[in-house]
A and B are shown apart, each in its own frame.
Chain A
């Protein structure tokens, strides 16, 4: 396959020494194997995720994503914008759709952008990396690069909310999307059938402001993975990853559980299956070590 190029919106959590930095490492490794070139949007800014509304309101919030799109249109015209964080993807795609649907909003947004010397057309597609993998490559192509099939590992595919709603992946249902399971299978591992918490919410940003309530949600997500016999959970979202991996100690203390469930990114799974080492696969960023992956990546 010929090299594919995308305009890339990395998002805050993927920055160096930020909570999703290991996601970024494994994405780069995966893209290298698949011959994907990611052209990072120059001077991109944070999109305010789904928590920007309270202080930001409507137009300032949309202006954040519009600034990124404007910069992307200058640097990589005609390319699709790709995000790896569900919240980044959602905020940017929502802005694109809102601007295209509402002339007045488009006018106002451009008025605001003009204050910083920019204009936006909002004419680039805005896509999640998972969409790119499935639609531009497909499972067969993704499977061709597997060097070390992840045999004997059982994995619960946790899609979460925002990768799945309101946009989701074309052709997949909101209530029972199958693509993560198919990806797990493509990498040679075994998906947990009927993982009932696959699209349940982990609390998102409320994990910070309402920790107890969110941890109750997270507990169910992990418990269901154990019930399905999972060795680990895989997710396409850096917020999900952090929320589900990081609070297991707190949950154990509160609920007298003994959770020790690794939570990895799809890109980490793929990097390991593609024969890359521990570091290239972002495994050094795990708080809870997925021992079987470490073993394969050795």
Chain B
């Protein structure tokens, strides 16, 4: 069959991305025009632009893509989506790649946004809402105790002015904001995770 012949020539990594990465089926639509590459606010700080990442996927460079720090520099500004002539959901593909690399354990270790994103998720899923104080504290100590104390002290004046203007509450440490139906909430997330995990196809 013709479609089998096409699939035969397509490399495995592209197939893997199409199967397992959020919105990954769009990658093949990229025409390498480079518009997105000039759109990322932190584009000067990262190894690979989205355009390059998509090219590398098609070239089968699995390790390089999944260990790239590029996806973690995405600020979710949606410049790329607004501008891409092929209408690729670039932001979501970048997020999807980050998530996939993270799940496989191949994402760069100690990547600050990777750590922050994990902390954020854990913070919010615990009680259904974000506890900004605990999140802030976790953030300060992200890179260990000694460094954390330094960062926290540096941020003291900001913390104080946030408290003075009642935009941060020291009482949050005792619990703070949350939803009522936490058990239903956790059951929903657990089920969603199960469904998603079951869909994951094996590649190596």
Contacts and interface: CB of A to CB of B under 8 A. Distances in A.
A132 interface: no
A63 B189 contact: yes
A21 B22 contact: no
Interface residues of A, number: 66
B162 A246 contact: yes
Nearest to B180: A43
Given A20-B167, A53-B99, A116-B187, A205 B77 contact: no
B38 interface: no
Interface string A53-64: 111111110111
A191 interface: no
Interface stretch (A74-82, A182-190, A283-291): A283-291
A225 B161 CA distance: 23
B26 interface: no
A210 B162 contact: no
Nearest to B136: A208
Contacts of B82: 165-166, 174
Contacts of B124: 12, 45-46, 48, 52
B52 to A, nearest CB: 19
Contacts of B75: 161, 201, 203-206, 214
Interface string B57-94: 00000000000000001011111011100000001000
Contact of B121 (A55, A250, A287): A55
Interface in B181-196: 181, 184-185, 187-193, 195-196
B42 interface: yes
B116 A208 contact: yes
B112 A54 contact: no
B129 A15 contact: yes
A19 interface: yes
B120 A51 contact: yes
B132 A200 contact: no
Interface in B85-118: 91, 95-96, 98-99, 102-103, 112-118
B158 A12 contact: no
Contact of A19 (B83, B115, B132, B191): B132
B177 interface: yes
B195 A161 contact: no
Interface string B160-171: 011001111101
A210 B42 contact: yes
Nearest to A25: B166
B146 interface: no
Given A201-B75, A204-B76, A55 B122 contact: yes
5 contacts: A49-B120, A53-B22, A63-B191, A166-B78, A205-B117
Give the 4 A-B residue pairs with the shortest CB-CB distance, closest first. A116-B184, A17-B169, A54-B117, A50-B76
Interface of B: 22, 41-42, 45, 73, 75-79, 81-83, 91, 95-96, 98-99, 102-103, 112-118, 120-122, 124, 128-130, 132, 139, 157-158, 161-162, 165-169, 171-172, 177, 179-181, 184-185, 187-193, 195-196
